[in-house]
Amino acid sequence: MCNTLDLPSFNLFHQTPSPHSASLLEPYATGSIRPLVLEEGLMLCHFDLLPKERLCLHNEFEQPLLMFAAFTQGGIHYQHHDFHLQQTFDTNRLYSVLLNKENGQSYYEKERLSCSFNLMLSPSFLSNMLEEERHPLSHLLEKLEQKPFFEILSEIPMSQKMLTHIKMLSHLNAKDPLNLFLLKSNVYELLYEWLSPLCKHDKTPYTIPEIECFYTHKVAGYIHENLLEPLSLEELCRIAKTNATKLQRNFKHLFHQSLFNYISTHRLEHAKNLLEQGEMDINDVAKTIGYAHQSNFTSAFAKYFGYTPKSVLKQKTFYM
């Protein structure tokens, strides 16, 4: 006998998980599935399951992510239907998995307790981390451009120190603000330790082919011509005739800042010019360059220029 549960019904990727998680699980197993969004693009999920009968958790979604799965007790047998992949995830082992399509089944054996600590990172989280033009981890983002994609990148034994560390974190009450602070700081430490072996060091200097250089400059020109219009990454990729990862890498290499920082800074420069002309108030200027709220515009303006929009208006009034 094998019971089956669909993981999507637990809303693991939502900021607020399903309030019915316990009742969904109760007929089939004791224990819990505890997701926790630590910040945008970074999620921790604990699986502590003791099945009453053999249990299959079926998971199907199309969402790119890098996952670290650490099994501190028990283990599972995993099958991915699209890639005809079978893998046993054993206790005291750490697995790193990169994917953009999941259609798999995880089998938990009857009356065998399995505990796992799972960290999931989105491409946006990785992109925000990688500030260098050609970071040794950027090859992971390039792999995710392939669709569909699923790869177990590594499997390594966990030291006793790491096991003890993870077990301690697994039992923290994250509803307590101090515990949450401790949890986050330790997760970042683990990420450093787990991401480091995945770095791919390339000593060859990064160069952009002439045709890609031409289209990247064409994107910059398009931005200036349509600075006050909504600009999407998808739209800019079409102009560059390339994918998002390559466009953002090429743009940063040529202009020494990220694509969206480039857009933001030029819009703020335009806002400063409008304020200096003195014909529009701050709220109207904010809306002109795409800010729905004046407070957000003021914060961004002050962070970039080192002074507030109001001070620009005051200076204009003083010299008139």
Number of domains in the chain: 3
Confidence at residue 320, expressed as pLDDT on a 0 to 100 scale = 41
203 within domain boundaries: no
Confidence at residue 167, expressed as pLDDT on a 0 to 100 scale = 87
Confidence at residue 256, expressed as pLDDT on a 0 to 100 scale = 83
Same domain, 245 and 290: no
Tens-digit pLDDT profile for residues 217-256? 999 999 999 999 999 999 999 999 999 888 988 998 898 8
Same domain, 124 and 224: no
Q: What is the mean pLDDT of residues 273-292?
A: 91
Confidence category of residue 23, pLDDT binned at 50, 70, 90 = confident
Same domain, 252 and 266: no
**Phi and psi dihedrals of 230, rounded to 5?**
-60, 130
Could you say which of 171, 198, 225 is where a domain stops? 198
The structure's pTM equals 0.64
Return the minimum-mean-pLDDT range out of 7-11, 88-92, 298-302. Answer: 7-11
**Which among 223, 294, 283, 214 has a CA at the least distance from the CA of 254?**
214
Confidence category of residue 317, pLDDT binned at 50, 70, 90 = very low
Q: What is the CATH number of the domain that holds 275?
A: 1.10.10.60
Angle at 190 between CA 186 and CA 195, to 5 degrees: 150
> Which of residues 228 and 82 earns the better pLDDT score?
228
The β-bridge relationship of strands 2-6 and 54-61 is parallel
> Which of residues 203 and 77 earns the better pLDDT score?
77
Tens-digit pLDDT profile for residues 292-314? 999 999 999 998 888 999 888 76
CB atoms inside a 10 Å sphere around CB 189: 11
pLDDT at 160 over 90: no
Q: Which of 84-88, 133-137, 194-198 has the highest mean pLDDT?
A: 194-198
- Across all residues in the chain, what is the average pLDDT? 87
How far apart, in Å, are the Cα atoms of 217 and each of 211, 250, 264? 10, 10, 17
205 within domain boundaries: no
**Residue 64 sits in which domain range?**
2-198
Q: What is the mean pLDDT of residues 153-165?
A: 89
Same domain, 94 and 234: no
Return all residues near 269 (Cβ < 8 A) that are at least 6 apart: none
> Which of residues 83 and 140 earns the better pLDDT score?
140
For residue 220, the one-letter residue type is A
pLDDT at 319 over 60: no
Confidence at residue 145, expressed as pLDDT on a 0 to 100 scale = 78
Q: What is the CATH number of the domain that holds 82?
A: 2.60.120.10
Q: What is the mean pLDDT of residues 71-85?
A: 88
Same domain, 289 and 227: no
CB atoms inside a 10 Å sphere around CB 78: 20
